[in-house]
């Protein structure tokens, strides 16, 4: 029913929107369009030359090329070890060489378990055998290649043959187990069934094991990405009844890459640990299943009815169990080493060949992978072809360009991690920045990464038009940020950002956690990194990691016409070309300082809100409110009593932030001076300055790493130990507060304060190089 609002309310709402948007609008009306922002890192003359170069680059890009590459490379199963995966690597190698690049394949030998035998049977109170297979779909040509596919599986779960009562654990996240405990339900000695969502899939079996479960099933509920979200494939884009989401469950929050060679490249000669001793291989068997296979299992459960938020879209009453459903789960794998093939292409810099600008996208998939990853890989190939054409005309980048198409990303970021670990010392000396992409689709620019690169991203987005609307990519991204942040129910942070952007601030980029090939670059070596893609309007999530992620699906629902493949190449290619050609590495320290200020405020508010909620919980215990509010006819236990939250000493963090703001302001002013025409003639000073700028992101590393996971060394960004892919900013402090480890929170406040001060030392040094006369340096 539609309710008519009073006129006064409508007027107030209209005035609030006008107030939100008026500042930039009035500015535009008063003086016309504002002058374009100076190209970061370039003198005016070099900026004009760069703009002309980028137009030539654009002219080389072709949607038809990308369509042909995706169709060819997704024409057969493309998993690690598949013949077509190797053929794709060899195809790219030949293309890169033909386009004028110095290209090679680097091979590693890595652990990659593949299923020999899998099975899921309901053995009580009735019998049912799961199909564990995705049938062919009308109109999808490659879906009939069933014999060449590996069956649906979760890589790096343990082998096992177990039988036990079934328990439904919702999404299998930490709060779900707390809710089960309040119902008096344990999973010890039982098999859990969890639905996808709420957190990274690898946490579901890990947490199940930590709570005593003997096996784990993960299914895709139709409410989330099946018929509850839209028409199922092939009528629509969403997951059909027999569709299965494959994926790795390697314990990547500990470290990614080959489990047998932690910290070193998995070359043929590398020393390896035994599989039984590998820290990132899980301890219980786990399998993904379709909602068609999950439905009989869930229907056989009894016990308490699941909370409302736990209920999915299947036509049944969702019960928690345990039992009477009893399940037999079998997983037997081939644990042999498999070769992976990284394709590396290099175009040597003409002036600063020992400064590297790196770009990557992976080429392996779970099955065909048209969307994930080949849509992004095709954009990368387009960039290589276009830059190669420029080079054939005599142009050369100032800095060396390194393009990589990684293998083994899907099972655990293996190809990129092994390459980074193998070349770590050289990368520490030479790497300036890494630019990543993965899957790509129709919609809005999605950018995350090192915040000193934020202005570079926004300037590039302002130079490229959106193919659907004709406005710039930046304008469309700005509109999306404001609209999403002003929607009813928007989170407080989205509302805050929307207001800032509406008042004229540039749209911020996000922070990087994990989940793609930038991880080793930023989290382990401290190389400034970006992850770029388009999305938000394509409909490919419903076939994510399934056999239906095919060319026929992607060309209908992902990026019809491949227009956004071209736009991704234009955006990522410009970022690469500007990083390669800039007179001074295009960084803006103030953007990083703003991001850190946001994160510091967040951890303060986190501690304060936890203190308030804990005090309220203790009051409820004292007044016996949990017992009085519980239904006497049901099992509803009180939560575990939380320990009090002390007032934490975060002063080292606060003090470092104050210095960072001051240093960033002076540093940005100095870099602006460094790209004035008169300063551009001092090449020796420029080389010295670049060396200091390269050292900035590594200054944010802490050699001992994060607690319990020393591989992750970046103190500003990291994937959460209990979120998997999801980022935790200031992770040493934030996760310690969340887990109530108060001394650790204070210790890492000092650690982060130290790395921020080291960063400031380098910013101050960069400013001094620009501003001091040579004799004083």
Catalytic residue annotation: 409
CA–CA gap between residue 97 and residue 115 (Å, rounded): 36
CA–CA gap between residue 390 and residue 50 (Å, rounded): 13
3-state SS, residue 162: strand
401 within 8 A of 346, measured Cβ to Cβ: yes
Q: Which is nearest to 603 in space by CA: 656, 562, 554?
A: 656
Q: What is the DSSP string of 69-103?
A: HHHHHTSS--STT-HHHHHHHHHHHHHHHHTT-EE
Partner residues linked to 404 by β-bridges: 344, 360
**What is the C-alpha end-to-end distance of the chain, expressed in Å?**
74
Integer angstrom CA distances of residue 313 from 130, 135, 332, 383, 459? 19, 22, 31, 43, 44
Integer angstrom CA distances of residue 286 from 193, 203, 224, 324? 10, 11, 21, 21
Furthest C-alpha separation in the chain? 87
For 109, the enclosing helix (H) or strand (E) is strand 102-111
For 735, the enclosing helix (H) or strand (E) is helix 731-738
735 within 8 A of 720, measured Cβ to Cβ: yes
288 within 8 A of 153, measured Cβ to Cβ: yes
CA–CA gap between residue 99 and residue 195 (Å, rounded): 46
Tokens of 282: 């899980």
3-state SS, residue 294: helix
Q: Which is nearest to 430 in space by CA: 361, 511, 349?
A: 349
536 within 8 A of 484, measured Cβ to Cβ: no
Burial degree of 502 (CB within 10 A; 0-12, 13-18, 19+):
buried
Q: Where are the beta strands (DSSP E) in 309-370?
A: 326-334, 337-347, 352-362
């Amino acid at each position: 029913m539609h309710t008519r609002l009073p006129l006064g309310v409508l007027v107030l709402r209209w005035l609030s929107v006008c107030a939100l948007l008026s500042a930039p609008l009035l500015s535009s009306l008063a003086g016309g369009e504002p002058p374009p922002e100076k190209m970061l890192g370039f003198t005016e003359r070099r900026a004009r030359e760069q703009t002309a170069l980028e137009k030539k680059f654009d002219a080389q890009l072709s949607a038809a090329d990308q369509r042909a590459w995706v169709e060819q490379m997704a024409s057969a199963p493309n998993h690690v070890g598949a013949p077509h995966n190797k053929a794709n690597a060899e195809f790219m190698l030949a293309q890169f060489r033909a386009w004028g690049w110095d290209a090679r394949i680097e091979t590693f030998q890595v652990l990659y378990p593949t299923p020999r035998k899998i099975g899921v049977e309901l053995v009580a109170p009735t019998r049912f055998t799961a199909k564990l297979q995705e049938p062919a779909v009308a109109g999808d040509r490659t879906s009939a290649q069933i014999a060449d596919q590996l069956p649906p599986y979760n890589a790096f779960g343990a082998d096992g043959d177990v039988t036990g009562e079934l328990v439904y654990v919702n999404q299998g996240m930490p709060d779900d187990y707390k809710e089960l405990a309040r119902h008096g339900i344990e999973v010890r000695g039982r098999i859990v069934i969890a639905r996808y969502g709420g957190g990274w899939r690898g946490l579901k079996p890990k947490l199940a094991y930590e709570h005593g479960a003997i096996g784990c099933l993960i299914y895709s509920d139709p409410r989330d990405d099946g018929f509850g979200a839209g028409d199922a494939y092939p009528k629509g884009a969403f997951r059909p009844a027999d569709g299965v989401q494959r994926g790795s469950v390697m314990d990547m929050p500990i470290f990614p890459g080959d489990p047998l060679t932690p910290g070193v490249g998995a070359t043929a000669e590398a020393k390896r640990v035994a599989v039984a001793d590998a820290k990132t291989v899980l301890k219980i068997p786990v399998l993904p299943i379709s909602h068609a296979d999950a439905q009989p299992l869930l229907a056989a459960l009894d016990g308490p009815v699941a909370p409302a938020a736990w209920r999915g879209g299947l036509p049944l009453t969702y019960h928690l169990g345990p039992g009477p459903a009893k399940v037999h789960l079998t997983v037997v794998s081939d644990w042999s080493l498999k070769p992976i093939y990284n394709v590396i292409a290099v175009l040597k810099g003409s002036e600063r060949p020992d400064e590297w600008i790196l770009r990557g996208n992976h080429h392996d998939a779970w099955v065909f992978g048209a969307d994930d990853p080949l849509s992004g890989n095709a954009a990368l190939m387009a960039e290589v072809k276009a830059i190669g054409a420029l080079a054939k005309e005599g142009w050369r980048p100032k800095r060396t360009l390194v393009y990589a198409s990684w293998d083994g990303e899907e099972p655990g970021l293996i190809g990129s991690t092994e390459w980074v670990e193998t070349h770590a010392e050289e990368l520490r000396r030479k790497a300036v920045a890494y630019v990543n992409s993965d899957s790509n689709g129709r919609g809005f620019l999605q950018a995350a990464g090192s915040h000193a690169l934020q202005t570079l991203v926004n300037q590039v987005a302002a130079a490229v038009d959106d193919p659907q609307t004709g406005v710039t990519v930046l304008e469309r991204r700005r509109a999306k940020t404001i609209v999403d942040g002003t929607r009813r129910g928007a989170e407080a942070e989205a509302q805050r950002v929307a207001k800032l952007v509406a008042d004229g601030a540039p749209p911020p980029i996000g922070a990087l956690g994990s989940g793609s090939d930038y991880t080793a670059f930023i989290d382990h070596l401290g190389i400034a990194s970006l992850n770029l893609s388009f999305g938000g309007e394509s409909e490919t999530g419903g076939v994510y990691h399934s056999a239906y992620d095919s060319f026929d699906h992607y060309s209908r629902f992902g990026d019809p016409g491949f227009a956004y493949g071209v736009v991704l190449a234009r955006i990522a290619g410009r970022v690469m070309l500007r990083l390669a050609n800039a007179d001074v590495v295009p960084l803006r320290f103030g953007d990083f300082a703003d991001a850190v200020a946001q994160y510091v405020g967040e951890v303060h508010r986190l501690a304060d809100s936890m203190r308030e909620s804990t005090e309220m919980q203790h009051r409820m215990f004292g007044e016996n409110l949990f017992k009085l509010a519980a239904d006497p006819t049901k099992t509803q236990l009180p939560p575990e009593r939380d320990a009090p939250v002390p007032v934490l000493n975060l002063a080292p963090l606060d003090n470092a932030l104050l210095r960072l703001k001051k240093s960033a302001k002076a540093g940005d002013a100095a870099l602006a001076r460094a790209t004035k025409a008169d300063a551009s003639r001092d090449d020796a000073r420029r080389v010295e300055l670049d060396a200091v700028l390269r050292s900035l992101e590594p200054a944010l590393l802490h050699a001992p790493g994060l607690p319990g996971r020393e591989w992750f060394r970046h103190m500003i960004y990291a994937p959460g130990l209990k979120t998997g892919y999801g980022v935790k900013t200031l992770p040493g402090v934030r996760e310690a507060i969340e887990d109530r480890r108060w001394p650790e929170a204070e210790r890492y406040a000092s650690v982060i304060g130290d790395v921020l001060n080291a960063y400031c030392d380098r910013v101050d040094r960069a400013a001094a190089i620009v501003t001091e006369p040579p004799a004083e340096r």
